[in-house]
């Protein structure tokens, strides 16, 4: 998959089939829309193109209420490539872009950069300054500019449409298993392994890899989880993962992600790590003594080991 900025685009001679959106999480709903795009593009001999943004538009338009992200840009691009996309155009979203009208965006990106012949978006798609752009406007513009528009009904479950917002809510509540059913994969966070306070190995007898996860990434709700730790060499290790503020030792500390690799002994400091969350074992709680905490941690490790030994599959949609 080619990844380019708008000013690096060379319009395909035969034209493009294009979809536009934040595509945070590249979840099962997104993938259904991308499959529709791919089928229509193949039938018409068009390149399959995704237009997305280098950050969530809300971080610029309403930063005080911008949502946490399910994926960083690198992971999003990896997931899009897995969907068979030919080209992803990454648009820098800044104040100038936020003030751009829907008509200006269509002219610059869809017409000039991509020579769009087909645009496939969700039926509730909005874009441009003040979110004034929508599917009816796209159809009106396409009639004069040479592209068709397919407004797709988004995939759903009995509980509602599959959306990034819905998945974020599940993740925040610690229901990573239900989130995985909508994502089509385990929720993953990434970051380098950094030094912590050293208490895990010395005082608790349970060494952990502390991930420095970017603050804009969605963390599961405070608790202990069974999950997978993936190293840069591609190896995967079962892990008991704590997300939270270590209330036995700290008060009002920021949340951290600590992964204990079960049965592993080695130096992980500095390596870029990936942690996938499979199931929540228990909520975080404060213990009255270190001994009580250590006993519970041993039970957590045993439970995580037993659960992961069964190699649970990502759940199907309800």
C-alpha–C-alpha distance, residues 201 and 224, integer Å: 18
Given 258, 271, 284, 303, which residue is catalytic?
Answer: 258
Q: How confident is the model at residue 208 (pLDDT cuts 50, 70, 90)?
A: confident
Sign of CA dihedral 131, 37, 55, 69: positive
The pLDDT value given to residue 5 = 95
3-state percent breakdown (helix, strand, coil) of the chain, nearest 5: 35, 25, 40
Distance (Å) of CA 146 to CA 8, 143, 208: 22, 6, 57
DSSP 23-41: -TT--HHHHHHHHHHHHHH
What fold does the segment set 186-309 form as a domain? Elongation Factor Tu (Ef-tu); domain 3 (2.40.30)
| pLDDT value at 249 more than 70 | no
Residues 228-242 have pLDDT tens digits of: 999 999 999 999 999
Domain ranges of the chain: 11-160, 186-309
Q: Indicate whether this model's pTM tops 0.85.
A: yes
Residues 142-163 have pLDDT tens digits of: 999 999 999 999 898 988 999 9
Residues 96-154 have pLDDT tens digits of: 999 999 999 999 999 999 999 999 999 999 999 989 999 999 999 999 999 999 999 98
Angle between helices 176-183 and 28-44 (to 10 degrees): 10
Unique residue bearing structure tokens 């000039």: 112
| pLDDT value at 28 more than 80 | yes
| pLDDT value at 292 more than 90 | no
CATH topology match: 11-160 vs 186-309? no
CATH 3.40.50.620 holds for 11-160: yes
Is residue 203 annotated as part of the catalytic site, yes or no? Answer: no
């Amino acid at each position: 998959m080619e990844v380019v900025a708008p000013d690096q685009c060379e319009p395909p001679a035969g034209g493009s089939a294009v979809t536009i959106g934040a595509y945070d999480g590249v979840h099962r709903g997104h993938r259904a829309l991308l499959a529709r795009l791919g089928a229509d593009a193949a039938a018409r001999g068009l390149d399959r193109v995704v237009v997305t943004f280098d950050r969530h538009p809300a971080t610029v338009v309403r930063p005080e209420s911008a949502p946490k992200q399910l994926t960083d840009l690198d992971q999003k691009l990896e997931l899009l490539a897995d969907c068979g996309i030919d080209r992803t155009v990454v648009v820098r979203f800044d104040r100038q872009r936020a003030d751009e009208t829907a008509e200006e965006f269509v002219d610059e990106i869809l017409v000039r950069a991509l020579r769009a012949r087909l645009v496939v978006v969700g039926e509730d798609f909005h874009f441009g300054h003040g979110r004034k752009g929508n599917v009816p406007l796209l159809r009106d513009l396409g009639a004069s500019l040479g592209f068709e528009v397919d407004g797709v009904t988004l995939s759903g479950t009995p509980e509602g449409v599959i959306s990034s917002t819905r998945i974020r809510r599940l993740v925040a509540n610690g229901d990573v298993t239900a989130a995985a059913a909508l994502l089509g994969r385990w929720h993953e966070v990434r970051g380098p392994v950094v030094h912590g306070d050293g208490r895990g190995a010395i005082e608790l007898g349970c060494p952990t890899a502390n991930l420095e996860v970017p603050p804009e990434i969605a963390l599961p709700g405070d608790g202990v989880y069974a999950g997978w730790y993936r190293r840069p060499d591609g190896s995967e290790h079962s892990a008991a993962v704590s997300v939270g503020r270590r209330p036995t030792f700290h008060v009002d500390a920021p949340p951290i992600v600590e992964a204990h690799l079960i049965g592993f002994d080695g130096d992980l400091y500095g390596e870029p790590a990936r942690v996938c969350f499979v199931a929540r074992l228990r909520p975080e709680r404060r213990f009255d003594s270190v001994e009580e905490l250590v006993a519970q941690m041993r039970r957590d490790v045993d439970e995580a080991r037993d659960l992961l030994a069964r190699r649970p599959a990502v759940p199907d949609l309800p």
